[in-house]
A = this chain, B = another copy of it.
Amino acid sequence: MTAATTATKRGAAAEAWALLFEFFTREKPRWAALASEFELSMSQAHALSLLAPDRPLTMSELAHALVCDASNVTGIVDRLEARGLIVRRPAEHDRRVKLLCVTDAGAELRERALQRLFEPPDEIARLSAADQRALRDVLRRALAR
């Protein structure tokens, strides 16, 4: 019995949640494949996606955004920097702080990767226009803070 069929007995919220979970499970291999197309690990891709060219982050900010310890970020950033996708720049106001800035090459690769990521998967693409709008509207309300 799948999560979704079990959840059917517990009401719409539980079933919707179970269906979302199934959706995530189906998409995860696609994300891993997409990252490896660009020769990035999932963590590297996640980090790069957070580093908009106009919004450099510090090491600790990136650690917080990735929900992991700061010591991990050193390695992840090392690998991105070794590939020339980002650079560490000391902050002006406090030389302990490093600003992570995307290089031109990094911004270009980041943009191409995000374009691919934004392509909706078949599950969404094949919905009717009305269903696509309904999904968008409900998710907007769900994620509104």
Contacts and interface: CB of A to CB of B under 8 A. Distances in A.
Nearest to A28: B67
Contacts of A121: 17
A6 B14 CA distance: 30
B6 A127 contact: no
A38 interface: no
Interface in A27-62: 27-29, 32, 52
A22 interface: yes
A131 B138 contact: yes
Given A17-B124, A127-B138, A135-B135, A22 B143 contact: yes
A70 interface: no
B143 A19 contact: yes
B139 A16 contact: yes
9 contacts: A10-B118, A13-B124, A14-B118, A14-B120, A17-B121, A20-B20, A23-B142, A29-B67, A131-B141
